[in-house]
Amino acid sequence: MRTARLVRARSLTPGVRELTFDPGPGHSFVPGQWVNLFDAAGDKRSYSIASAPRADGTFDLAVTHVLHGPMSTLLHALPIGAELRMADAQGFFVMDPVVRPVLMVATGTGLAPFRAMLQHLVSTPPTVPIWLIAGHRTQADLLYRDELEALPLRTFRYWPTLSRGGPTWRGSKGWVQAHVPPALAALGTDVDVYVCGLTHMVHAVRDLCRRELGVPRKQVHAEKYD
């Protein structure tokens, strides 16, 4: 157990706050891993780290404000300089060596571990396609859009889709599941698929890839948020 201090914060969308924590010396993690934060009562909540490792040890979390959710309410009101107890990073939702095309599928703040992975890949750019299908409700809910559109990876494609796209939205619409088949038609089935988000979506995409689209079982990697 260690103490993490909030050093920066900003609003990403009306319902998502990014918090940057300094966990103190000796903390390390692999992109895709998560941390447990604890409130004063000892209750904990897990959050995927939304940034690659940095020289100063700090990391970002992207936290959705859940109505009547004690931890998310606490984190959305947490002042700069506040401290929370934190367990060291853990988890197995990390990237295998990039030897084939990669398809990432996320909804909401399920995008967080992929941001960490993509930032890390910038230092050693892959030569194979890296695609990200990111599902959100509305344009106001798009996370890290400007950053992802400007990501300096030559083989990267950012593919946002909105379930409630309004009349001014010119991009893709519908659930992420609808866009997985055309993505794999382009990338092929010898692909590593990484899926992160709520359970229903994760199960739907995982089953679609394995049972209908022919992606080998060991090449479909998933992390659920609920």
Q: What is the 3-state secondary structure (H, E, C) of the chain?
A: CEEEEEEEEEEEECCEEEEEEECCCCCCCCCCCEEEEECCCCCEEEEEECCCCCCCCCEEEEEECCCCCHHHHHHHHCCCCCEEEECCCECCCCCCCCCCCEEEEEEHHHHHHHHHHHHHHHCCCCCCCEEEEEEECCHHHCCCHHHHHCCCCCCEEEEEEECCCCCCCCCEECCHHHHHHHHHHHHCCCCEEEEEECHHHHHHHHHHHHHHCCCCHHHEEEEECC
Whether 119 and 12 share a structural domain: no
Whether 159 and 199 share a structural domain: yes
Tell me whether residue 93 is in a domain. Answer: no
In this prediction, residue 116 carries a pLDDT of 98
Contact of 46 with 35, CB cutoff 8 Å: yes
In this prediction, residue 54 carries a pLDDT of 96
Tell me, what amino acid is at 178? A
pLDDT digits (tens, 9 = 90+) for 43-102: 999 999 999 999 999 999 999 999 888 999 999 999 999 999 999 999 999 999 999 999
Whether 81 and 121 share a structural domain: no
Buried b / exposed e along 171-206 (16+ C-beta atoms within 10 A): ebeebbbebbeebbeebeeebbbbbbbeeebbebbb
pLDDT digits (tens, 9 = 90+) for 8-56: 999 999 999 999 999 999 999 999 999 999 998 889 999 999 999 999 9
Whether 156 and 187 share a structural domain: yes
Whether 21 and 55 share a structural domain: yes
Residue with tokens 């571990």: 113
Per-residue pLDDT at 225 exceeds 90: no
Among 86, 115, 139, the domain-final residue is 86
Reported pTM: 0.95
Query: How far is 67 from 94, CA to CA, in rounded Å?
Result: 30
What's the number of domains the chain is made of? 2
Among 86, 121, 147, the domain-final residue is 86
Tell me whether residue 92 is in a domain. Answer: no
Query: How far is 131 from 155, CA to CA, in rounded Å?
Result: 8
Tell me whether residue 60 is in a domain. Answer: yes
pLDDT digits (tens, 9 = 90+) for 166-213: 888 999 999 999 999 999 999 999 999 999 999 999 999 999 999 999
Among 59, 86, 113, the domain-final residue is 86
In this prediction, residue 217 carries a pLDDT of 94
Tell me, what amino acid is at 2? R
Closest-CA residue to 143 (of 191, 73, 68, 197): 197
Q: Over the chain, what is the mean pLDDT?
A: 95
Per-residue pLDDT at 226 exceeds 80: no
In this prediction, residue 92 carries a pLDDT of 95
Contact of 71 with 130, CB cutoff 8 Å: no
In this prediction, residue 165 carries a pLDDT of 83
pLDDT digits (tens, 9 = 90+) for 144-160: 999 999 999 999 999 99
Domain coverage including residue 75: 2-86
Contact of 76 with 63, CB cutoff 8 Å: yes
